[in-house]
Structures are given as C-alpha cells and as structure tokens.
Amino acid sequence: MKMNLTFLLPFIVCVQFCPCICTAQQGDPYEIIQTLIKSKEISTNIPLLDSLTPWGKINIKDRKWDILNTEEKTELVAAVKIANGFKLHSDTLKIIPLLPSTEFLKSFEKGNAFTVELINKYKPFYWISNPIFLHNNSKAVFSLFSIPGLHVSYLYEKKNGEWAPIAEFDILMN
C-alpha cells in the first residue's frame, strides 16, 4: 500500500534542520494535552509520540493568521524562530501511553521507505507539535496529527484557567 507522507513535510523539515532540544518554555504543554483528552479530541487508548516537535516556517501573511492581532503575529513569528521540541515524561502524563519518538524522528530525517513501515507498524498514534504560547500565555497555537488520518492546527485561548479552541485551520485528511 502506498502512503502519502506529504502532510508530514513541515515536521520532516523541522526534524532535519531543528533538532528536538528539550527546554523549558513559558506555557505548559501538558495542559494542552489534558484539554485534548478531556474534550475527546484524542483518545487515551491511542499512544502519543513522546516528543512535541517544533514548528517549521510559517507564512504570517496567510489569511488564517488574521485571527491574531499584530502583536500576536509578531510574537508568533519570533517564537517559531526560536522554538524547540519538548520531551514528554510518562510520570507526568500517565493517562495516555507514550510512544518513544527517537526511531520516528531518525526515520523522518531520512524520509525513506522505512518511514512507511514504521508508521504502519505503530499506527494509529498521535503526534503533536510543541505549542507556541502567545499573549502572556493566554493563547496557544499547535498542530495535532492523528496517524493515519487527520491533521489539524489549532488556536486555543485560556479563559478562567481553562484552554478552549477558538480556531481550527489546515485541516487535512490523509
């Protein structure tokens, strides 16, 4: 079976040119993941890759970003330039199984047939980008991949201590 990996291209580029360096960040990606679980966007029966990958380049002139104000767009562009990956820890996220990402990330760097074999071996699983936190950590932009299947980028906003989606874009089926 032939598999189209085009939807993974932004992350393959990131893995190739922006190694997954685990660093502290402003916001808490675990809160975003907990929100996805609570809202049933992701199932706790399906594993999640244990590394949140950094964003690749973005085209801030794309109309989808018009939902952000000028200050937020500037923050987003600056944050994407310095964003790193984030390693999830199973002791902090016990509710969902974590799939070791090292083999996947090395495979995506090479972009060979082994990548398809690896995906077929472990599917289904989730892959989430490291959220970019904006506006004093009150907004977050991230992508969710359900492999195989759906890719959605989200803009979430934190209101009264809870994260909620305010926009979905780049919705692709694979």
Query: Per-residue pLDDT for 12 more than 50?
Result: no
Note down the domain range covering 115: 6-173
pLDDT score of 2 more than 60 = no
Please check whether residue 1 lies inside any domain of the structure.
no
Residue 85 has pLDDT above 90, yes or no: no
pLDDT at 14: 42
- Give the total number of structural domains in the chain: 1
Instruction: Among 9-18, 37-46, 79-88, 117-126, name the one with the lowest average pLDDT.
Output: 9-18
Predicted TM-score (pTM) of this structure = 0.79
Average pLDDT over residues 120-146: 91
Residue 148 lies in a domain: yes
User: Quick check: is 73 in a domain?
Assistant: yes
Kindly state whether residue 49 falls inside one of the protein's structural domains. Answer: yes
- Map the chain to HEC letters: CCCCCHHHHHHHHHHHHCCCCCCCCCCCHHHHHHHHHHCCCCCCCCCEECEEECCCCCCCCCHHHHHCCHHHHHHHHHHHHHCCCEECCCCCCCCCCEECCHHHHHHHHHCCHHHHHHHHHHCCEEEEECCEEECCCCEEEEEEEEECCEEEEEEEEEECCEEEEEEEEEEEEC
User: pLDDT tens digits for 21-75?
Assistant: 333 347 899 999 999 999 999 999 999 999 998 877 788 888 888 999 999 999 9
**pLDDT band at 19, cuts 50/70/90?**
very low
Rounded to whole angstroms, the Cα distance separating 51 from 85 reads: 7
In a domain, 39, yes or no: yes
Q: Which residues contact 41 (CB under 8 A, 6 or more apart)?
A: 144
